Structure 1
Amino acid sequence: EWTYIRKDGSRFPVRLSVTALRDEAGKITGFLGIGSDITLAKQAEAALKESEERYRDLFENASDLIQSVTIEGRFVYVNRAWRETLGYSDEEIANLSLFDIIHPDSKSNCENVFRCVARGERVKKCNAEFVTKDGRKISVEGSINCKFVEGKPVATRAIFRDITERLRTEAALRCEQEKSEHLLLNILPEPIAERLKQEPKIIVDDFAEVTVLFADIVGFTELASSMKPIDLLDLLNKIFSIFDQLCEQHSLEKIKTIGDAYMVVGGLPNPQPNHAEAIAQMALDMQAKITQFRNHTGQVFNMRIGINTGPVVAGVIGLKKFSYDLWGDTVNMASRMESHGLPGQIQVTVTTYEKLKEKFLFKERGVIEVKGKGQMTTYFLLGNKN
């Protein structure tokens, strides 16, 4: 390459090709020179170099991890973020293979991805685990493709993003969400909780027939006066925890506890054809558990249980400290059956008796005066017929 000077003194680059001229004897008699103005070529070359430097600077200063690897797995290029994240120097990288930094948990998947891109497939999303120089496992995701020369794969090019902290945060959020879900399901029936999550609003449903049970510890007041508050609460917790297990066992829905009273219902929020039978069986199991508990602890107390069957309205109302509850005459009557009952007995209404008399043993109590209802015939549930 030569630099020529124009008449006006300006300079321009020339690519000069020179050929010797010879006579018949082969003696050089002169030279023939052909020059080409390569100003435009030089400008294009400079622009290309500037562009390459700009892109290299872009790659080198990118926050993502950028790498180029030969088809044999040797590193051709890694950027600054890659080196800083994994902790390797240029000298160490020169002696590394791609599979030296892949965590064993990801090796099979990465080998499969490597084969895919070597066949010409572009992998738009690839997840992997790398191992840093100090032995930490980091999670990355990104895209990868392959460079081909004359139809043959020569190198893969990948851009990854370190998502280790994001995955850790997501896992922590899932854990907290699961705790919240568990807490919500301890307060509300699962179908009701799902409806509230979809659309927070008042939930009110009519149920044509359910069976409601109220249970109350007889002698609780006397018991409370003779025990420390913390010991009393521990006692109640043990008893009600047993009842909670019985609810799950019989697929019933615990509604609430009020002091020493326990309320449970069968037949909602999911329909249950045998709701009356399930409640009756739970009542018998509650009495048996109380007897076992009394014998084991030496505490002197008993239970009254009342049961009624009929229609109710159920739902969640209010904006704060909401709970799932029942309303209606059926609920009131079940409560009356408990409060007008006898210690150690399970008192039921005629309605409940008619639904259960074929499968359970009863004793007619006779006519009693029920507050707000007048005289009513009631029955004591004694056990199963089988």
Structure 2
Amino acid sequence: MVGHGPLAGVRVVELGGIGPVPFAAMLLADLGAEVIRVHRPADRDARPNPVLDRGRRSLVVDLKNPRGAAVVRALIDTADAVLEGFRPGVAERLGFDPVTLAERNPRLVFGRMTGFGQDGPLAMRAGHDINYIALSGALGAIGRAGQPPTPPLNLVGDFGGGGMLLALGVLAAVLNARASGGGQVVDAAMVEGSGLLMSMIYGRYAQGAWTVNRGENVLDGGAPFYDTYECADGKHMAVGAIEPQFFANLVAVLGVAGRIDLAAQRDPATWPAMRESFAKAFMDATREEWVERFSGTDACVTPVLTMDEVLSHPHNASRKSFFTDSEGAIHPAPAPRFDATPSSRPRPAPAPGRDTRAILSELGHTPEDIESLLGEGVVR
């Protein structure tokens, strides 16, 4: 499959998993890499995620069958990178030891995604996004004052600190392999990735400009000029008026200048009364009325859109930041954008095994070989 984008010509084998590995694979596919996802037989009837699984080719292989493992090893021989999200040691037990694979394909990059990393006391423990970001300090920093930490969906561990960091690591290693001729193992752990996302906050904490108490800081909802407010119609507006000039514009448009001392913006002692004034003002009009009132004004105020509203927002529509597929699913468009090697619209998510015959044929299997593999249940 010919890709369009800056990664055209890069081949990636994705050993099927959930969450961060599919996201890393999606990012690479969006940028033009040929990504081949290896599904397990148990996945044969699974319904693909229309967004997360887009842009791939797919074959179903029984990795526990020696002939199946041989098929995938031959596929990996043709690849620039492999992505896997098993617990430490599982890939080796399945016959996919990165050292042995590198002997066959010296330039191979072996991307490994786990929650806790390939070693350490918790390496073999089960976990999910919430557990990993709990250990990095990220979860403890998110939430309202006096309330328990708020899980930020699974964006910080699985996707930001997991899949995106894995994709970055794999790309860096592929670049190095093309320069040096040698691949390497990339050990991406969500505890460490989500901690890395907290770099600015850890820096602010070191400077004495951040407290570990949730809801008492400028960016965690503690400051009334960086928060969300309900409008008369039950919808919300997001306020991020951090700088003095934006704060002054916010106060002016809200019509609360008589109750707010602009010079005391950063004084936490003024925040409770300030928040009350802002909340009361926003309740005087609907969200769309506030959008109109803030139109053309730099106050860092925007509507809080739901997922079914993003397509129709004028800015998103102008840049085609989202699109719908033939089934009506809303997709975020590939990002970032490239002027010389633009990404194309991703192909639809494949049903598991859709490309099995074609991929086997490309690997040199004869029609008789393919029928034999299918007949024995080695591939589907």
TM-score norm. by structure 2 comes to 0.22
- Comparing both chains, which one has the higher relative contact order based on Cα–Cα distances under 8 Å and sequence gaps of 6 or more? 2
Which is strand-richer, 1 or 2? Answer: 1
In our comparison, the structure showing a higher alpha carbon Rg is: 1
